Amino acid sequence: MYRAELQKLEGVWTGIETISISDTPIEANTRLSFQTVFDGRFLVCDYVQTMPDKSTSVAHGVFRRDDRTNALTVTWFRSPVATKVQQSDAVAEGDKLIFNETVDGRTTRTTYAVAMDRLSIRTDSLLPNGEWKRLVEGTYRRR
């Protein structure tokens, strides 16, 4: 279950992300490297994001099927902004690679979509009024 979906992400992807945390969106250059390991049971991701005049952000993600629930999950190890919840699990909804995550009381939804040699990743935040606000949107090409 989910092995084929995870394998679609394999490879090195480079692209631009638009970060809309403040009133003025910021663009960042991003590199993601996905690799399946242990007979396809895990997908590991190394993420590097660079912006002018900002510290480089790095993360390491481990995607896997939870043996207890059969749900697809991802655990992220992030830096330089470590939170109290350094490891956070997210669960896919149905067959889509859509992950919901709650860290420090803030709920986000991240969607991964692959079409041929293009990858798009969107992260939205749940507002108190129940609406979703786009935080990050990235488009990448497989190298």
Distance CA 21, CA 133 (A): 9
Q: What is the CATH number of the domain that holds 95?
A: 2.40.128.20
- Residue 63 and residue 40 in contact, taking contact as beta carbons nearer than 8 Å: no
Residue 58 belongs to what domain range?
A: 3-142
Distance CA 54, CA 77 (A): 19
- Residue 1 and residue 91 in contact, taking contact as beta carbons nearer than 8 Å: no
Structurally, how many domains does the chain consist of? 1
Give tens-digit pLDDT for 91-128. Answer: 666 567 888 888 778 888 898 988 889 999 999 999 99
- Residue 109 and residue 93 in contact, taking contact as beta carbons nearer than 8 Å: no
- Residue 93 and residue 100 in contact, taking contact as beta carbons nearer than 8 Å: yes
How much of the chain exceeds pLDDT 90, in percent? 46
Polymer length in residues for the chain: 143
Give tens-digit pLDDT for 33-85. Answer: 999 998 888 999 999 999 988 889 999 999 888 788 777 888 888 876 655 44
State the greatest distance between any 2 C-alpha atoms of the chain, in Å, as a whole number.
44
